[in-house]
Amino acid sequence: MRWNWQLPDWPNFQYDAAPIQSAEAQFLKGAGVVVGALHHLDGDARQGFTLDLISQEMVDSSAIEGEVLDRASVQSSLAKQLGFAADPRKAKAAEAGAAELMADLYRSYAEPLNDQKLFDWHRMLMKGDRNIQEIGAYRTHADEMQIVSGALHAPRVHFEAPPSATVPAEMRRFLDWFNDSAPSAAVPMSAILRAAIAHLWFETIHPFEDGNGRIGRAIAEKALAQSLEAPTLTALAETIKRHRKAYYAELHRASQTNHIDDWLTWFADIVLEAQKRTIRKIRFLIEKAKLLERMKEQINPRQEKALLRMFAEGPDGFQGGLSAGNYQTITGAASATATRDLAELVELGALSRQGERRYARYYLAVEYGD
């Protein structure tokens, strides 16, 4: 099999941008919605949302690669990095490094991309990792850089990247293109198109021994942010994780050709879905504040505790809804008390109920979009 970088037209990607023009327009419009919705949150809520979203992005980006990070530790480290209030817990190296990368991406999205920035990100990401030789530098090993699966005696090669010896030249060409296509450049490129190409191109080169996926998704976020002239706060990694199997399939398909229309269409859909999730989360927080304000002095401490616990699950809520048993576990209430408390919350309009008796399930009665 010949990979895209082995073809004579590499890296002159061929595509028709027209099919994703509507997605580009929707993305820019959605960015305005995000800004407008954020204005409805007070300072603490807006800060909390920013921390929550950015930390979740790195947790999900790592999970795509099979690495599990402690979300609370990432969030605490990120708060320290951004100068927000943070608890005193000491994070492990992996969580601290991941938070450092995301904080740097948030603060320096407008800066040009260069080797040194990528090396810095790689050092952050690889903190505490002793399994690779080159940290904060492009790979130099003579062995093929391959993505494989299956048994050692019969591996399945999903992709093979360019040889290490060619990486510096490949990266110079990539970085020149990335900076020359920025919104501030003489010939700027539209947001989604640039992010899609940047991610595919970087993943093809695979310049580091490890961490390429996470850094590649950070580059895509940087491209989107530069087009908006603001941190995107787009749940890109979270959305890719939800479509992880398709993500790898589309990357594999795109790695065999430099005609990338299918990749662009898929990536554009993912970006729009990610942005919708962000908007949904913000509206959820707005409705949370409204409901809790409306319930003030109408509910008891048990009911308040249960509502806060339900809100903590986010827009997706409890899987299958809140049961009376769940309510007892959360509040410590007796069975009869739980039944009465839940009935009151339904009567007050805080919860809606589906089902009867022991099959009854309760959901937050808030409207925050699809």
Question: What string of pLDDT tens digits covers the 370 residues of the chain?
Answer: 689 999 999 999 999 999 999 999 999 999 999 988 888 888 788 888 888 899 999 999 999 998 999 988 998 899 888 888 666 667 788 999 999 999 999 999 999 999 999 999 999 999 877 778 899 999 999 888 887 765 555 567 778 999 999 999 999 999 999 999 999 888 899 999 999 999 999 999 999 999 999 999 999 999 999 999 988 788 999 999 999 999 999 999 999 999 999 999 999 999 999 999 999 989 888 888 889 999 988 999 999 999 999 998 888 778 889 999 999 999 999 999 999 999 999 999 999 999 998 889 999 988 766 5
pLDDT at 116: 98
210 is in an annotated binding site: yes
Summarize pLDDT for 34-52 with one digit per residue, the tens. 988 888 888 788 888 888 8
8 Å CB contact between 132 and 126: yes
pLDDT of res. 117: 98
What's the pLDDT score for residue 168?
97
Q: CB of 279 within 8 A of CB of 33? A: yes
Q: Tell whether 247 is in a known binding site.
A: yes
Q: Model-level pTM?
A: 0.89
Has 173 been labeled as part of a binding site?
A: no
Catalytic member of 153, 199, 206, 259: 206
- Annotation-wise, does 211 bind a ligand? yes
What per-residue string of b and e applies to 295-314 under the rule 16 or more CB within 10 Å gives b?
beeebeebbbbbbebbbeee
Is 214 assigned to a binding site?
yes
**Residue 259 CA: distances (Å) to CA of 4, 6, 16, 82, 176:** 9, 14, 9, 40, 21
Q: How many CB atoms sit inside 10 A of residue 293's CB?
A: 8
For residue range 289-308, list pLDDT tens digits in order: 889 999 988 999 999 999 99
Q: What percent of the chain has pLDDT over 90?
A: 66
Q: In which element (H, E) is residue 181 found?
A: none
Distance CA 177, CA 198 (A): 9
Q: Is 213 annotated as a binding residue?
A: yes
In 3-state terms, what secondary structure has residue 119?
helix
pLDDT value at residue 189: 96
Q: Which domains does the chain have, with CATH numbers?
A: 4-282 (1.10.3290.10), 298-364 (1.10.10.10)
Does 309 carry a binding-site annotation? no
Confirm or deny that 215 is annotated as ligand binding: yes
In this prediction, residue 1 carries a pLDDT of 65
Dihedral sign, Cα of residue 132, residue 175, residue 263, residue 50: positive
In the annotation, is 206 catalytic? yes
